C-alpha cells in the first residue's frame, strides 16, 4: 500500500507517518504538487490554524489535490485537513477551503464547556455503514483536539440529484458536529486516528484498503 | 460524551523509569517504552514521560527514549523535563512526542509558549505549574514554585495559569506540591479555582491515593484530566481497574476493550 502524505508545515507529521508505517504502508511525504500526479492515496494531516492551508494554494497543492480527487484517488483529510475540504472556516474568513463539501467550519459557541475540545469522545457512526468505520462498533472513542468544527448537516447531491448527508459520524460536544465525512473517494476525520489507539488504527486500515468503484 | 482522561506518568532518569518498580514484575522492569505500551493497553488515555535527568549526556538518552517509546504508541504522548528552548521542543517532537510540557522555562521566558505553539500548534504545548498554598491564605493566594517546590516565584497560580492561556498554552498541568506524594487526595479546591479561571483543559496532579480521590477531582475539582503515577503501585493495579471503578461511580471514562 502506497500513500502520499502532504506536508504543508502545519504541525507535526511524525505521528501520522509512524502510524501508517506501523500498518505496513509505504509512505511518501511531499510538500510539492508533482508527486500527487502519481499518488495512489493521499492524506492531508494538519493541526493548528486554518490559515496554514494558504500554503496549499501558494504551492499548487490545492490544484493537484483537486485533480487527484477528480481521478478518484482516495483522499483522507485529518483535523484541519478535513475542515479544509469545506468552503472555509470562520477561523480564517479570507482563506478559502477546497469546497468539495458545502458549508463553513464554525467555532464552538461560548458556553460552560472548555474550548478547545480535547480528549476522548465517542463517534456515532451513520446508519448506512460508512466505509471508514467498517469492523468497528457503532459508538467508539477517539481522540480529539480542536476549537472549530464541521457542521453536522453537510449534504451532498448524488447523480440523481438526491440530497444525502455526507457525515459518516457525529459527535456531541457543546453542539452535535460532523466528526467524519465520507463521499465517493473523499474522507475526512476531525479526530486523530493516529492517536486513537486500536480504533484509530482500524480507521486508517479501512482508508488504506478502500477501493474506489 | 467527552470522557475524563486518566494520564499515566512515567518519571525517567537516564532512560529508565525510576518510580514504580513494584508494578513491573511481568515486563522489562523500568523500561519506559514497555511501560508506556502496557499503560496504553490497560486503558490509559495518554502517556506523559517526565525526564528528571540533569546531565547533558542524559538529554541524548532522552531523545532515544522518546523515539523508542513513541514507536508503537498510538495514544497522545507528552514529554516534559528540561525543555528550555523552542529547539529543545522541536527535537522532542521530531523524536515522536505529540505535546511538550514546559515549566520553569515558560516562567523564565513566557514567549516560549507562543514560539512552540506557532510551529506545532497550541494543542502541543502544556504549561506545567507547581503550586503551593500559603498557610492561612485563601486558595487564590497559592503561589507558583520552582525547583521541586523549594523556590517561591511569588506569582499567583491562578494569574499565571491565565497568562499561560493568553500566551497560547493548550492545557495546564497543575501539580499541588502540598499534596504530592501524600496520597491524601488531590487539592480539589485549588484545581477548581484554576479550572474556573481558564477555558483550556486542566490536568490535576499530586495526591492520588485511592479511586475516590479521582472521582473527587473530576467532581468538585472540575479537572478535565488527572495524572496517575504512583497510584498504580499502591493498591490500584492498572488504568483499567481505576477506570472500571470510576465508571461505577458515574464518572464518564473510556473503558479499554
Q: Over the Cα atoms of chain B, what is R_g?
A: 17
pTM to 2 decimal places: 0.94
This model of the complex carries an ipTM of: 0.93
Residues from chain A contacting residue B98 (CB–CB below 8 Å): 12, 15, 195
- Domain total in chain A: 1
Does domain B5-248 correspond to CATH entry 3.20.20.70? yes
Q: Where are the domains of chain B?
A: 5-248
* pLDDT for the residue numbered A194: 96
Chain B residues within 8 Å of chain A (Cβ atoms): 1-5, 40, 45, 70-72, 74-76, 93-94, 96, 98, 120-124, 170-171, 199-201, 224-225, 254, 257
The 10s digit of each residue's pLDDT in A119-128 is 999 999 977 7
* pLDDT for the residue numbered A208: 97
Residue B131 pLDDT exceeds 90: yes
Contact B2 A119 (CB under 8 A): yes
The 10s digit of each residue's pLDDT in B188-200 is 999 999 999 999 9
The single residue of B31, B51, B98, B130 carrying the catalytic annotation is: B130
* CATH code for the domain of A23: 3.40.50.880
* pLDDT for the residue numbered B13: 82
Minimum-distance CB partner of A15 among B45, B98, B225: B98
Q: Which residue of A has its CA nearest to B123?
A: A145
Contact B170 A12 (CB under 8 A): no
Facing residues of B50 across strands?
B11, B80
Residues 6+ apart with CB under 8 A from A15: A192, A194, A195, B70, B96, B98
Minimum-distance CB partner of A48 among B70, B121, B257: B121
User: First CA to last CA across chain B, in angstroms?
Assistant: 17
- pLDDT category at A42 given cuts 50, 70, 90 is very high
Residues 6+ apart with CB under 8 A from B180: B149, B205, B206, B207
Q: Does A112 touch chain B (CB under 8 A)?
A: no
SS3 state at B249: coil
Label residue B56 exposed, middle or buried (CB < 10 Å: 0-12, 13-18, 19+): exposed
B14 is known as an active-site residue? no
**Domain span at A57:** 2-209
Q: Which of A7, A13, A14 to mutate to test the interface with B (most CBs of B within 10 A)?
A: A14
* pLDDT for the residue numbered A7: 94
The single residue of A91, A140, A182, A194 carrying the catalytic annotation is: A194
> A29 and A5 in contact (C-beta within 8 Å)?
yes
Q: What is the mean pLDDT of chain A?
A: 94
SS3 state at B34: helix
* pLDDT for the residue numbered B55: 66
* pLDDT for the residue numbered B24: 41
> B246 and B215 in contact (C-beta within 8 Å)?
yes
Task: Considering only residues A75 and B23, tell me which one the structure prediction assigns the higher pLDDT.
Answer: A75
Min CA distance, B98 vs chain A (Å)? Answer: 7
Task: Considering only residues A37 and B55, tell me which one the structure prediction assigns the higher pLDDT.
Answer: A37
- pLDDT category at A36 given cuts 50, 70, 90 is very high
Amino acid at each position: 500500500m502506497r500513500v502520499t502524505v502532504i506536508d504543508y508545515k502545519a504541525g507535526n507529521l511524525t505521528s501520522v507517518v509512524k502510524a501508517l508505517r506501523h500498518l505496513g504502508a509505504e509512505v511518501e511525504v511531499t510538500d510539492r504538487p508533482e508527486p500527487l500526479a502519481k499518488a495512489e492515496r493521499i492524506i492531508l494531516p494538519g493541526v493548528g490554524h486554518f490559515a496554514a492551508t494558504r500554503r496549499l494554494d501558494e504551492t499548487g497543492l490545492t490544484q493537484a489535490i483537486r485533480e487527484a480527487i477528480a481521478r478518484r484517488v482516495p483522499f483522507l483529510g485529518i483535523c484541519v485537513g478535513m475542515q479544509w475540504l469545506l468552503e472555509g472556516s470562520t477561523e480564517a474568513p479570507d482563506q478559502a477551503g477546497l469546497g468539495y463539501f458545502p458549508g463553513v467550519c464554525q467555532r464552538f459557541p461560548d458556553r460552560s464547556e472548555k474550548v478547545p475540545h480535547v480528549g476522548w469522545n465517542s463517534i456515532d457512526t451513520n446508519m448506512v455503514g460508512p466505509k471508514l468505520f467498517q469492523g468497528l462498533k457503532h459508538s467508539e472513542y477517539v481522540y480529539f483536539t480542536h476549537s472549530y468544527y464541521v457542521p453536522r448537516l453537510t449534504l451532498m447531491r448524488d447523480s440523481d440529484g438526491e440530497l444525502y448527508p455526507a457525515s459518516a459520524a457525529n459527535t456531541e460536544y457543546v453542539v452535535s458536529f460532523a466528526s467524519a465525512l465520507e463521499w465517493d473517494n473523499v474522507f475526512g476525520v476531525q479526530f486523530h486516528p493516529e492517536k486513537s489507539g486500536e480504533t484509530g488504527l482500524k480507521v486508517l486500515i479501512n482508508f488504506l484498503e478502500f477501493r474506489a468503484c | 460524551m467527552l470522557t475524563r482522561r486518566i494520564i499515566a506518568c512515567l518519571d525517567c532518569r537516564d532512560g529508565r523509569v525510576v518510580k514504580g518498580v513494584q508494578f513491573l514484575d511481568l515486563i522489562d522492569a523500568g523500561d519506559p517504552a514497555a511501560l508506556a505500551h502496557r499503560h496504553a493497553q490497560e486503558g490509559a488515555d495518554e502517556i506523559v514521560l517526565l525526564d528528571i535527568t540533569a546531565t547533558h549526556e542524559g538529554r541524548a538518552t532522552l531523545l532515544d527514549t522518546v523515539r523508542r517509546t513513541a514507536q508503537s504508541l498510538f495514544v497522545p504522548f507528552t514529554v516534559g523535563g528540561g525543555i528550555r528552548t523552542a529547539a529543545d521542543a522541536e527535537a522532542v517532537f521530531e523524536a515522536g512526542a505529540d505535546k511538550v510540557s514546559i515549566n520553569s522555562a515558560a516562567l523564565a521566558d513566557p514567549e516560549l509558549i507562543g514560539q512552540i505553539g506557532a510551529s506545532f500548534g497550541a494543542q502541543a504545548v502544556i504549561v506545567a505549574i507547581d503550586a503551593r498554598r500559603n498557610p492561612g491564605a485563601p486558595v487564590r493566594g497559592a503561589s507558583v514554585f520552582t525547583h521541586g517546590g523549594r523556590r517561591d516565584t511569588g506569582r499567583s497560580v491562578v494569574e499565571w495559569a491565565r497568562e499561560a492561556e493568553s500566551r497560547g498554552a493548550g492545557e495546564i498541568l497543575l501539580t499541588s506540591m502540598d499534596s504530592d506524594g501524600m496520597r491524601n487526595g488531590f487539592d480539589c479546591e485549588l484545581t477548581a479555582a484554576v479550572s474556573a479561571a481558564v477555558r483550556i483543559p486542566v490536568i490535576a496532579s499530586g495526591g492520588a491515593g485511592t479511586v475516590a480521590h479521582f472521582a473527587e477531582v473530576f467532581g468538585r475539582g472540575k479537572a478535565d484530566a488527572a495524572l496517575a503515577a504512583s497510584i498504580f503501585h499502591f493498591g490500584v493495579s492498572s488504568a483499567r481497574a481505576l477506570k472500571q471503578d470510576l465508571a461505577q461511580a458515574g464518572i464518564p471514562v473510556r473503558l479499554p476493550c
